[in-house]
Amino acid sequence: MADINGLKIAILVTDGFEQVELTEPRKALDEAGADTSIVSPKDGQVRGWKFTEWGDDLPVDVPLDQASPDQFDALLLPGGVINPDALRMDQKAVAFAKAFFDAGKPVASICHGPWTVIEAGAARGRRLTSWPSLKTDLENAGAEWVDEEVVVDQGLVTSRKPDDIPAFNREVIKLLASVGSPSRQAAAQ
C-alpha cells in the first residue's frame, strides 16, 4: 500500500452526493493513512443519495466558511447529480475547489463531480472522464473527454461511475503517494 500517512484530504459535498462515491473512497483513503474531512456549505450534516433515493446523513467536519484550502493536501469531489449541480452554483465552493488547482494540489472527481472542475476553470487542456452525460459540457469547457474507468492527468484523477471506484481509489492513492504532503515534507526538514 502506498504511503499517504498524514495527508489531509478535503471532501467537498452538499446534500445529494452519491453516497458510495464518498464513503468508499473515504474508507480507502482513511485505511491508507490519510486524514479525511467532509467540507460543506451546510453546517451540521449532509445527506447522501443512494442511487434512487435519499441515503444517510453524514456529519460535516469543517463548514466551508471555516475551511481553507491551505489546511488540506488534496481534494475529493464525489458525484451524484444533485450535489455537484448545487456546488457549481456556490461561489465559495467553486473558489475552494479552484484554489486546489491553482496550487497544483491533487484533485479527484467522479461521476458528475467534474461539473465543479468546469466551474473552477480547470477542465481546459485536461484529458478526463465522467458520467457520460457530462461529455459535451466538458468538451465545451476545453477538455478531452474519454470513456475510461479512470484517467489521471495533470494532478486530476477522474472516473465515470460507482463501478469504477476500485480503479479510482487505486489511482487516487497512487497519485497522493507520488506527490506527498507539503506539511509532511516541511516536518521532515
pLDDT over 70 at 185, yes or no: no
**Is 112 considered catalytic here?**
yes
Q: What average pLDDT score do residues 122-141 get?
A: 98
**Catalytic, out of 112, 126, 160, 161:** 112
Global pTM exceeds 0.75: yes
Q: pLDDT digit string (tens) for 141-165?
A: 999 999 999 999 999 999 999 999 9
Tell me the torsion sign for CA atoms 182, 144, 150, 169. positive
**For the stretch 93-104, what's the b/e string if a residue is b when 16 or more beta carbons lie within 10 angstroms of its beta carbon?**
bbebbbbbbeee
- pLDDT at site 3: 78
Cell of 103: 496550487
Domains located in the chain, CATH noted:
8-181 (3.40.50.880)
CB 111 within 8 A of CB 46: no
